[in-house]
Amino acid sequence: MKAKEMTHTVKALFAGDKGLLAMDESIPTCNKRFEEAGIPQTIEYRRKYRQLIVTTPNLGKVISGAILFDETIHQSTDDGVPFIDMLKKAGVVPGIKVDEGTMDLAGFPGEKITMGLDGLKERLSKYFDMGARFAKWRAVITIGSVIPSRGCIEANMHALARYAALCQEAGIVPIVEPEVLMDGAHDLKRCFDATIKTQHILFDQLFAQNVNLKWLILKPNMVLPGLSYAKPASIDKVAEATVNCLLQSVPPVVPGVAFLSGGQSAEDATAHLNAMHVKYKGKLPWALTFSFARAIQQPALEIWKGKDENVAEAQKMLYFRASLDNAARRGEYTPEMEK
Ligand code: 13P
């Protein structure tokens, strides 16, 4: 077990007020975002876009770790510098998404199971040799009239625990991401109930699989009403519900929690993280940070539009959004800073 290596990785990922950048969209997801922004959906444009991100000036001042996708971890800049080396040079720890996406879960209509355990041991060892020091696996839990089912939650949390054990065996810190989706018209209470149940079952499975919680990062959803629910919840209510949920399910030995943004606006995701720090500063057993994809990238992607002449402006926006999330980690973010 590469204990020292993993301890070092965890420390680096939660250093100061920094957080993580998820830039691990699968090819179909990245293409979908490109299509919406009018950008050609080719391997070269995906490379150019990821180059824009990893060459952002001073990225390492605001971002501690970046999660890559398999296609991206093999790519390089125009000058032939591997992206993974660019990140290391910037002081950003490289990570890798290792799940292989979701498929319908047999016997459970409307629910999904995440794939990717087959051959994972070998893939992890290859990624470690390439320089990746942490990994991510995302499970999705859907809220509907009669779901999520216990069967779906258990199957997904079992897979997450098996993945986490394999990561630690390889010296890679696992990020476990049980995402309760925002899609739907459910209220905040239903999201809370689904999230707390999911997290309880997750930690039960992690214990059963001998995963050492001190080398583990939880990447949860915030507790929110569904996207098509009539009334938005206040910033403070979301912060309270999210922290209360975590306090009841996440053991104190877990070093840190890094939230996904899950379809919230960039401003909302930042404001919610900020409110948690304002209200609970010094009172929580684990660090709270961000591991956003859309809430950091989307405004920059919309500026870039696939055009070389927009790269510098897009990079400024990426840096700006991440710096606002740093402010949120200090509990110092205000909406005025958006201007
Ligand atoms: P979002 O912040 O866009 O939800 O993405 C985070 C992520 O890594 C999803 O797996």
Ligand 1 pocket member 328 (CB < 6 A): no
Alpha helices in the chain (DSSP H): 3-13, 27-36, 43-54, 59-62, 70-73, 83-89, 120-130, 150-169, 188-208, 235-249, 266-280, 294-304, 311-329
Q: How do residues 19-78 score in pLDDT, each as one tens digit?
A: 999 999 999 999 999 999 999 999 999 999 999 999 999 999 999 999 999 999 999 999
Give residue 293 CA to ligand 1 midpoint distance, Å. Answer: 5
Q: How do residues 236-258 score in pLDDT, each as one tens digit?
A: 999 999 999 999 999 999 999 99
Ligand 1 pocket member 295 (CB < 6 A): yes
Rounded distance between C-alpha atoms, residue 129 and residue 333, angstroms: 39
Q: Nearest-5° angle of CA 137, CA 138, CA 139? A: 125
Neighbours of 311 (CB within 10 A): 18
Give residue 223 CA to ligand 1 midpoint distance, Å. Answer: 15
pLDDT of residue 1: 76
Ligand 1 pocket member 258 (CB < 6 A): no
Q: Which atom of ligand 1 is nearest to the CA of 295?
A: 2
Ligand 1 pocket member 22 (CB < 6 A): yes
Ligand 1 pocket member 261 (CB < 6 A): yes
- Is 307 tagged catalytic? no
204 burial level (CB within 10 Å; 0-12, 13-18, 19+): middle
First to last CA, the chain: 48
* Confidence (pTM): 0.98
Structural domain of residue 182, as residue ranges? 3-338
Ligand 1 pocket member 326 (CB < 6 A): no
Mean pLDDT by 10 residues, the chain (339 residues): 95 98 98 98 98 98 99 98 98 98 98 98 98 98 98 99 98 99 98 98 98 98 97 97 98 98 97 98 97 98 98 98 98 97
Question: Which residue's CA is the closest to the ligand 1 atom numbered 5?
Answer: 293
Q: Which atom of ligand 1 is nearest to the CA of 24?
A: 8
pLDDT of residue 111: 98
Tell me the CATH number at 329.
3.20.20.70
Question: Which residue's CA is the closest to the ligand 1 atom numbered 10?
Answer: 138
Contact 24, 293 (CB under 8 A): yes
Rounded distance between C-alpha atoms, residue 38 and residue 115, angstroms: 30
What's the domain count of the chain? 1
Question: Which residue's CA is the closest to the ligand 1 atom numbered 8?
Answer: 22
